[in-house]
Amino acid sequence: MPIKPEQKMDILVSLCKRRGFIFPGSEIYGGFANSWDYGPYGVELKNNIRNAWWKRFVNGRDDVVGVDTPIIMNPKAWEASGHIETFSDPLVDCKKCKRRFRADHLLEAKSAKPKYDKEKPADLKDIVCPDCGGKLTEPRMFNLMFKTFVGVTDDKASLAYLRPETAGGMFVAWKNVRDVVRKRLPFGVAQVGKAFRNEITPGNFIFRTREFEQMEIEYFVKPDQAEEAFEVWLKEMKAWNKDVLEIKEKNLVYREIPKKDLAHYSARTVDVEYMFPFGQDELYGLANRTDHDLSRHQEASGQDLTWHDPETGEKVLPYVIEPTWGLDRTILAVLAEHLDIDEAPTSKEKDKEPRTVLRFPAHLAPVKAAILPLHKKGELPKIAQKLTQKLRERGIVVEYDESGSIGKRYRRQDEIGTPWCFTVDPESLKDKKVTIRDRDAMTQERIALVDVPEWINEKLS
Ligand code: GAP
C-alpha cells in the first residue's frame, strides 16, 4: 500500500519512538534543539550500516586504510584548511517574528516554485519570511564551527573547535600514514566519526542536526589520475546504494553541482540526492578537493607533504578525491525506503488488518530472528531458549519473546524489520522442527531445529 509522502515522516518519527529506534534527546528536560538519542534498535541499525561500510571500503580493499583522529585538533589546522575563514552559511532574520533562515535555502525554495522564471535569478529582496510574511534582514555570514576552550582558562589562547568534518583529521595525519603504509598512489584513508556544525536551521528529524556521524574517504591520487578516480568512486557510491542499502534507482539523483555553488575546497562535486519524504535532498557527496588541503597544510605547517615514488623518484603533492557518506542521513533514507504498510490476516482467519513493516535488507536489520514459543509454560519455552542461546553463541542478534498472541508478536517484529520469526509449537516436541515465518511474504515453512543456525547464516551471506 503506497504511503503518501506527506504522511511518511510522521509515521516514521512515531514508529522510531514507539519501537525504540530514535528518541528526542534530553526529553525529560523538554528536549534540546534537534538532538536525538538512538535507542536499542536504532543503535543496532547504525552499527550494521557502519560495519558494512568499513568492511566494504576499508577491510575489503587493498588501497584504503583506516584511522581515528581527534574531534578537537590544533586550531591551526582549521585556519590552514580555510574553515575559520569560509565555513559559513548566509543567515537572515525575520524583522517581525525574529525567526532565522538560511538565505540560500530561501532562494532555492523560490527557484523550485512551479511558475519560477529561470531567466530571472531569484533575489533575496523579493523574498519575505515564509512563516509570517515579515521583512528579512540583509544576509550576514555565520561560521558553523562550534567553539570550545581547552584547559582551565577560557581566553583566546585556549580557543579550539569541534571538527565540522572528519576529513580534516585525515589530512593532518596524512604525513604519518604516508610514511607507514608502504603503498603507491592511488590509495585512500578512511575515517568514521562525529562531526559538529552549528546549523542555522536544523530539522527534518535526523536529516540536519548539529551533531552527526560521517563516513569519509580521502583518496590520494596523482593529479592526472583525479578524473578517472572520481568516476570510479561515483560507481562505488552507486553500487553501495543499490547493493548494500537496496535503494531503488528512481529514488536517487546524482546531481553535478554548478561551479558557482562549489564548496571553497572543491573543483568538482556530485551530490547524491535522495527522495526523502520531505523532498529531494543531499544524502552523500563526492568531491575533487584537488591539492587544496595538502598544499595549505604544507604551507602552514612547514612540513613536506609530498609523496615520493620509490621506483621513479617522482615527487608529487597528491590530489584528493573525497567520497563522503552521512551515517544519520543513511539511516533516514534506509528507514524511508523500506517502510511499508500492507495487509496481514487477523486472528479471525479471513479478516485482514493494516500492517506496518520495515522491509530492511536482512544484513541491516537490527534483529535477525525472533524466537517465539507458542506457550509460556512447559517444554516449549525451554526449547526456544536453547535455540536463542545457540544463535547468540554464533553472533546472530536474536530476540526471545513469549508474551502476547502470536499475531501480535509477529506484528511487533514486522515493525522493527526482523526478517524471520521461528515459532516453537507443540509439534516441535515430536518432529524437532520449528516454523519459519517470513516477514515479507508472510509464508511459513518448517525446518529442523538443528538446521536453524546454518539456515540463517546462509541467508545472511
Ligand atoms: N568532508 C566533506 C563534507 O563534510 P558535506 O557535504 O558538508 O561534505 C558530508 O558533508 C555529508 O555529511 C553530507 O552528504 C551529509 O550526509 C552529512 N551531513 C552534513 N551536514 C549534516 C548535518 N547537519 N546533519 C546530518 N548530516 C549531515
Q: Whose CA is nearest to atom 9 of ligand 1?
A: 324
pLDDT along the chain (461 residues), means of 10: 87 97 96 94 98 98 98 97 90 92 87 71 84 92 94 85 98 97 94 96 93 98 97 98 98 96 91 97 98 97 95 94 98 98 82 94 98 96 98 97 95 98 97 97 96 97 89
Rounded CA gap, 226 and 321, in Å? 7
Q: Is 222 among the domain residues?
A: yes
| Domain stop point among 97, 116, 143 | 143
- Does ligand 1 have an atom closer than 6 angstroms to the CB of 437? no
What is the tally of structural domains in the chain? 3
Residues 272 and 199 in one domain: yes
Rounded CA gap, 70 and 68, in Å? 7
Ligand 1: which of 282, 290, 320 to mutate, most ligand atoms within 8 Å of CB?
282
Residues 139 and 178 in one domain: no
- Does ligand 1 have an atom closer than 6 angstroms to the CB of 328? yes
Residues 56 and 183 in one domain: yes
Q: Is 360 among the domain residues?
A: no
Q: What is the pLDDT of residue 192?
A: 98
Residues 116 and 61 in one domain: no
- Does ligand 1 have an atom closer than 6 angstroms to the CB of 164? no
Pull the grid cell for residue 310. Answer: 620509490
Ligand 1: which of 216, 324, 332 to mutate, most ligand atoms within 8 Å of CB?
324
Residues 234 and 325 in one domain: yes
Rounded CA gap, 354 and 404, in Å? 19
**For residues 424 and 373, is the Cβ–Cβ distance under 8 A?**
yes
Residues 309 and 392 in one domain: no
Residues 23 and 127 in one domain: no
Residues 251 and 330 in one domain: yes
Q: What is the pLDDT of residue 118?
A: 66
Between helices 292-301 and 167-180, what is the axis angle to 10°? 80
C-alpha pair distances (Å), 51 with each of 47, 173, 239: 6, 23, 16
Q: What is the CATH number of the domain that holds 111?
A: 3.30.40.230
Q: Whose CA is nearest to atom 5 of ligand 1?
A: 285
- Does ligand 1 have an atom closer than 6 angstroms to the CB of 285? yes
Q: What is the pLDDT of residue 263?
A: 85
**What's the 272 CA to ligand 1 centre distance in angstroms?**
11
Residues 213 and 296 in one domain: yes
Rounded CA gap, 311 and 185, in Å? 12
C-alpha pair distances (Å), 414 with each of 44, 160, 247: 16, 46, 19
- Does ligand 1 have an atom closer than 6 angstroms to the CB of 216? yes
Q: What is the pLDDT of residue 248?
A: 98
Q: What is the CATH number of the domain that holds 65?
A: 3.30.930.10
Q: What is the pLDDT of residue 151?
A: 87
Rounded CA gap, 56 and 62, in Å? 11
Q: What is the pLDDT of residue 349?
A: 67
Pull the grid cell for residue 382. Answer: 525451554
Q: Whose CA is nearest to atom 11 of ligand 1?
A: 326
Q: What is the pLDDT of residue 108?
A: 84
**What's the 85 CA to ligand 1 centre distance in angstroms?**
19
Q: Is 353 among the domain residues?
A: no
**What's the 20 CA to ligand 1 centre distance in angstroms?**
25
Q: Is 152 among the domain residues?
A: yes
Residues 109 and 224 in one domain: no
Residues 154 and 236 in one domain: yes
Q: Is 345 among the domain residues?
A: no
- Does ligand 1 have an atom closer than 6 angstroms to the CB of 214? yes
| Domain stop point among 278, 311, 335 | 335
**What's the 23 CA to ligand 1 centre distance in angstroms?**
21
Q: Whose CA is nearest to atom 7 of ligand 1?
A: 165
**For residues 359 and 417, is the Cβ–Cβ distance under 8 A?**
yes
Q: Is 348 among the domain residues?
A: no
Domain containing 415 equals: 367-460
Residues 136 and 159 in one domain: no
| Domain stop point among 104, 128, 143 | 143
pTM, full prediction: 0.94
